Amino acid sequence: DVKVTQSSRYLVKRTGEKVFLECVQDMDHENMFWYRQDPGLGLRLIYFSYDVKMKEKGDIPEGYSVSREKKERFSLILESASTNQTSMYLCASSALAGGPSGELFFGEGSRLTVL
Amino acid sequence: DAKTTQPNSMESNEEEPVHLPCNHSTISGTDYIHWYRQLPSQGPEYVIHGLTSNVNNRMASLAIAEDRKSSTLILHRATLRDAAVYYCIPMYSGGGADGLTFGKGTHLIIQP
């Protein structure tokens, strides 16, 4: 079974701190994605990556950056956390975005609270 | 603009069929229709997908309208474990991030 593992289920950080959210997948997937989920807003795409060292902005990239140095690992970085970044963060991977093999596999999520 | 329209919530009784509708009137000819569900305190999980023909798997059936502007996810006998938020997403078959943002989905409530 595909496994997408997010490093922390729950984090509490202070405003201005640098925050790293780590995601690892074990199925050699090309594509990895970071979403945030807020009540009433669904899942919104922050950044995605189709290859090592490659990244593309999603719908809400402001305040975030990402790093993909190895194929299996995709990190989301909050350079200076703010209270409006309090949210559930979900990582996903897929063999191919869209299409018959475009199934997305999600991690369990990381709930970040910024005080 | 929302790419999909789904009811905010639906309610059904246990062991009865459930039909979850989705309108995707702006879908292109190469977009596959994917459905995911999200159980409480978990990440979304894949349910089913299709292009033009109706599809069946062990979890559900997907009925796609002839004009592809709408689809219906069918749970043949709902159980309490099917209570979740269900999302339909048109996904471009050629890759890219189009369609990879999920809408608000339908919150399915199952009554015992």
Q: Are B90 and B102 in contact (CB under 8 A)?
A: no
Per-residue model confidence (pLDDT) at position B99: 59
Question: Which of B42, B96, B101 is opposite residue A97, by nearest beta carbon?
Answer: B96
Overall average pLDDT of the B3-18 stretch: 94
For B48, the closest chain A residue by CA position comes to A103
Per-residue model confidence (pLDDT) at position B28: 80
Per-residue model confidence (pLDDT) at position B3: 78
One DSSP character per residue, B69-81 reads SEEEEEESS--GG
Overall average pLDDT of the B7-20 stretch: 96
pLDDT(A96) > 80: no
List Cβ<8 Å contacts ≥24 apart for A15-18: A15/A81, A15/A82, A15/A83, A15/A114, A15/A115, A16/A80, A16/A81, A17/A80, A17/A81, A17/A114, A18/A77, A18/A78, A18/A79, A18/A80, A18/A81
Q: Chain B residues with CB inside 8 Å of A98's CB? A: 31-32, 91-96, 98-99
Per-residue model confidence (pLDDT) at position B95: 56
Q: What are B18's strand-pairing partners? A: B75
Are B103 and A45 in contact (CB < 8 Å)? no
DSSP-derived 3-state class of residue A84: helix
B7, HSE (Cβ side, Cα atoms, 13 Å): 12
Average pLDDT of chain B to the nearest whole number: 89
E strands in A7-114: 10-13, 19-25, 31-38, 42-49, 56-57, 65-70, 73-78, 87-94, 105-106, 110-114
* A97 CA to centre of own chain: 15
Beta-carbon pairs below 8 A across chains A and B: 82
Predicted confidence (pLDDT) per residue in B66-98, tens digit: 999 999 999 999 999 999 999 998 887 665 555
Q: Are B89 and B104 in contact (CB under 8 A)?
A: no
Residue B109 corresponds to which amino acid? I
Question: Which of A56, A92, A102 is opposite residue B91, by nearest beta carbon?
Answer: A102
pLDDT(A101) > 60: no
Overall average pLDDT of the B13-36 stretch: 91
Are B42 and A109 in contact (CB < 8 Å)? yes
Taking the Cβ of residue A19 and every Cβ of chain B, the question of whether any pair is shorter than 8 Å is answered with no
Taking the Cβ of residue A106 and every Cβ of chain B, the question of whether any pair is shorter than 8 Å is answered with yes
Average pLDDT of chain A to the nearest whole number: 91
Can you tell me the distance from the alpha carbon of A28 to that of A35, in angstroms, rounded to the nearest whole number? Answer: 20
Q: Chain B residues with CB inside 8 Å of A50's CB? A: 95
For A47, the closest chain B residue by CA position comes to B97
Taking the Cβ of residue A39 and every Cβ of chain B, the question of whether any pair is shorter than 8 Å is answered with no
Question: Which of B32, B36, B41 is opposite residue A99, by nearest beta carbon?
Answer: B32
Name the residue among A17, A23, A18 with its Cα closest to residue A89: A23
